[in-house]
Structures are given as structure tokens and as C-alpha cells.
Amino acid sequence: MHNQLKTILAFCALLRCFSLTTFAEEQPAPGWELKDLEGKPVKLSDFKGKVILLNFWATWCPPCRDEIPDLVSLQQQYGPRGLVVLGIAMDAKGAAIVKPFVKTMAIS
């Protein structure tokens, strides 16, 4: 397991220890809307009732590239149980560069 994944899991465990789920129930995350690689709108409300792991990444970022296989694996393993791994690519050239990268890396 990569160090980044261990860090993510440790952070999630830490949040659970401090009972932040109560805080989240009282103050929901603010809504947002972005476009997917096909230009279709994606809203936070589309995932109501799911656990969301939000990952900001870029094709040019070596640590981001290293963690992608682990995040894909997490989605495959826990997606049926309600986990949604959402990646937000920060590449300045947008879909033109991200689409081929996503295909190469088999990102769902």
C-alpha cells in the first residue's frame, strides 16, 4: 500500500475519532457543480448519502500519478458499499490533456 493511501486512511480514522460526523450532520458541505470530461454537469447533490473522497490532482504531479492506482482500487472495492472517489484535475489545459491520461491510467 502506498504512503499516500496510508495517510488518507489515517486521516479518515482521525476524523472518526473526533466524532466529526456529528458536525457534518449539523452543517452539510456547501453545494457545488463542475463539468465532467464530457462537459456534463456533476453536482455534490448527485452523491447524497454516499461517502465522498475528494481528490485534487494533475497529470504533471508525480505523487498524484503514484496514488491513482490505489484510488482506483478503493473505488472498485468500496464503490458498491457507497464510496465515491471523485478526482478533480487541476490541469490548465483541461479535458484535452486529462482525457487521454484518464484512459491510459484506467480511471473510472
Task: Delineate the domains of the chain, giving CATH numbers in brackets.
Answer: 30-105 (3.40.30.10)
**Long-range contacts, 37-43 (Cβ 8 Å, 24+):** 37/95, 37/98, 37/99, 37/102, 39/95, 42/86
Beta-bridge mates of residue 53: 85
Element spanning 99, H or E: helix 95-105
Q: Is the separation of the CB atoms in 94 and 64 below 8 Å?
A: no
Instruction: Read off the pLDDT of residues 37-68 as tens digits, 9 standing for 90 and up.
Output: 999 999 999 999 999 999 999 999 999 999 99
Instruction: Read off the pLDDT of residues 63-87 as tens digits, 9 standing for 90 and up.
Output: 999 999 999 999 999 999 999 999 9
Instruction: Read off the pLDDT of residues 85-94 as tens digits, 9 standing for 90 and up.
Output: 999 999 999 9
For 69-90, the DSSP string reads HHHHHHHHHHGGGTEEEEEEE-
